[in-house]
Amino acid sequence: MKITGYHDIFFDSVDIHKRARKINDYGSVTFVYSVDVLDELENYDICVTRDNPIRWEKDMTYNERYFTYYEELNSNFVKGNFMQHITVRNIREALSFKYLTKIIVDYPGESLEKYFNPAYCAFENALKDNGINVPIVIRKCPSECNCQEQYNNYKEGFVYYRFKTE
């Protein structure tokens, strides 16, 4: 299977899971980077979206998708806005882990530990094998978070609909 056209990296300025009190649509693992990663990517087109890319139409122009003037960005960017993403466009290499500050892994509860434990161990081993020294934080959500109920409703073999390639 060959997937093409996915060469942009979108950074959020907020922990979506924590703020929305539900499962993050991007998955149960959050890679937290220092903003300093942008210095390493200065040769790329770094933009900020006007609106969440999930709502983009195919025929939208660059100017409709991204802030194009500093003054406009300075006046309209709101840290923590779910709709605005710092975006590195057309990157065709792996993002360095040099500026990775932590990895947050959502704990889905006891009923799904059979999935959580191997995934957590895989992260630990990958970090160790590659000499990456960042903490893995296990997120155990408070009762007002809806993620436990959402995780418990998933069926074995579930594939999130946005990740299907057909």
How does pLDDT run across 54-79, given as a tens digit for each residue? Answer: 889 989 999 999 999 999 999 999 88
Q: Say which residue, 130 or 164, is predicted with more confidence.
A: 130
Backbone angles phi, psi at 75, to 5 degrees: -80, -25
pLDDT for the residue numbered 59: 93
Task: Identify whether 3 is part of a domain.
Answer: no
Amino acid, single-letter form, for residue 46: I
Give the pLDDT confidence score for residue 147 in this predicted structure. 81
- Residues found in the chain: 166
21 lies in some domain: yes
Distance CA 73, CA 63 (A): 12
Tokens of 49: 């979206």
The more confidently predicted of residues 166 and 11 is 11
Spatial separation of the C-alpha atoms in residues 110 and 94, rounded to whole Å:
34
For residue 98, is it within any domain?
yes
Quick check: is 1 in a domain?
A: no
Residue span of the structural domain in which 25 resides: 9-163
CA dihedral 29, 154, 160, 13 (to 10 degrees): -40
pLDDT at residue number 3 = 43
**Is residue 111 a part of any domain in this protein?**
yes
Residue 129 domain-assigned? yes
Burial of 103 (0-12, 13-18, 19+ CB in 10 A): buried
pTM of the model: 0.80
149 vs 98, more confident? 98
Residue that wins the pLDDT comparison between 24 and 164: 24
Alpha-carbon gap, residue 82 to 74, rounded angstroms? 17
**What is the count of structural domains for the chain?**
1
pLDDT digits (tens, 9 = 90+) for 72-115: 999 999 888 888 999 999 888 888 899 999 999 988 878 778 87
